[in-house]
Each structure stands twice: as C-alpha cells, then as structure tokens.
Structure 1
Amino acid sequence: MPTAPEEHPPAEPCRVTLTGEGPLLLDGPVEVTLDDGTVARSDRFTVALCTCRRSRAYPWCDTSHRRRTKR
C-alpha cells in the first residue's frame, strides 16, 4: 500500500520590498546567482539588492544610486 507523502508546513514567502529609486529590499538570508554563475550570499536579516548597477559591492547596494551634492 502506498504511503502518504510527508506533510510539511507551508513555507513562508520571501518578502521583497520595492523602493522608489533605490534597491530591492529582501528579508534575508539570501543567495543571489550572478550572470557569470557565481553565488553571492548574505545572512543579514534584511538585504538591499542593487538595481542600478552602480554599486561597488554589487549585487549588494552601497547607496551609489543617491545623487551626491556638495554642501
């Protein structure tokens, strides 16, 4: 007689927050597969992913998208 598949509690969905002109905010930890196949991982509780590709820490946002103004 076949056995019933193991029941697992439903997985929590990954929360992604869109920001106006900034990064994508994700609930961590996350793994990001880059164009070249390498995997970047962050164990932080909230992760900011760069969407403008100006970040020196790409794929993580370093706020390079902000306009710099002289004071």
Structure 2
Amino acid sequence: MTAPDFEHPDVVLCPGGPMLVRGVQRVQDAEGRVHESVRPVVALCRCHKSARLPWCDGTHKLLPEDARP
C-alpha cells in the first residue's frame, strides 16, 4: 500500500481531555471562524467549556469525570 498523495495532520484524542493536532496552521470552529496557529502542536477543546475556544485551556480537569469528553 502506498502513502496517500496529500498532507494531513496527526490527531490524538486525549481521554477526558483535548484533541491534539500536529501539522495544522488553521482551524475552523463550529461558527465558521478561522483561527491561525504557528505552533507545531495545538490542543483543541472537546469539553466545550474552555474560555479560549477552540483552544483547550485545561478546564476539562475541573469537570467531573462523567462530564469529560
């Protein structure tokens, strides 16, 4: 099997936490806004409680375990 001929980011879903994405320069949020990033890895919020959406700010750590993603 050959590698696909397109680039794609690496994605890791952290249990109870954010989605880590490596290799992305732009992220589009649920409202359609585009957010730029120069970081090699970004943490995207999955609990929808971050004060910095779409970025994770660690708020998921304060949630009860059954309310985490």
- Which has the larger helix fraction? 2
Look at both structures and tell me which one has the larger radius of gyration over its CA atoms: 1
Aligned length: 60
Residue in 1 aligned with 2:11?
Answer: 16
Asked whether the 8 Å contact 1:33–1:40 carries over to 2, the reply is yes
Aligned equivalents of 2:30, 2:44: Cα separation in 1: 14
Asked whether the 8 Å contact 2:11–2:19 carries over to 1, the reply is yes
- Could you tell me which runs of 5 or more consecutive residues in structure 1 were left unpaired when the two chains were aligned: 1-9
Tell me the TM-score normalised to structure 2 length. Answer: 0.73
**Deviation >4 Å, runs of 4+:** none
> Shift in Å at residue 31 of structure 1?
1.4
Report 1 or 2 for greater relative contact order, CA contacts < 8 Å, sequence distance ≥ 6: 2
Aligned CA RMSD, in angstroms, stands at 2.0
